[in-house]
Amino acid sequence: MSYKIAEEGNITTIHLDGEIDMDVVEKAKEVIFPHIDSGKEVHLNLSQVQYMDSSGISVLIESHQKALEKNTKVVIKDVSKSVLKVIMMAKLEQILNLE
């Protein structure tokens, strides 16, 4: 997994790339959580994520919950087809903010 971060105003966009699985889940949290903790709105761009397993999905859920606690939000944008399929199978499209 690699990533790029872009900041604009109160919005941090994190472009994730590659596979998000149990091997990189801690790295993903280290990248995402500090931006949520700072109270910024975080946009996760998943257009370049080819694969995400259940541990990757748990990062999305934890990010969403952490954002609610901080009175901000996480928006999941440009989800690749393979990741969208996993999100839909878990019925998370009703919980997560997808764009």
Per-residue pLDDT of the chain (99 residues; tens, 9 = 90+): 999 999 999 999 999 999 999 999 999 999 999 999 999 999 999 999 999 999 999 999 999 999 999 999 999 999 999 999 999 998 999 999 999
Whole-model pTM: value is 0.94
Domain count, the chain: 1
For residue 74, count CB atoms less than 10 angstroms from its CB and return exposed for 0-12, middle for 13-18, buried for 19 or more: buried
* Residues 6+ away with beta carbon under 8 Å from 49: 16, 17, 18, 19, 20, 56, 79, 80, 82, 83
E strand or H helix at 19, and its extent? strand 11-20
Q: Can you give the CATH number for the domain in which 38 is found?
A: 3.30.750.24
pLDDT at 97: 96
Please give the residue range of the domain that contains residue 22: 2-98
pLDDT at 77: 97
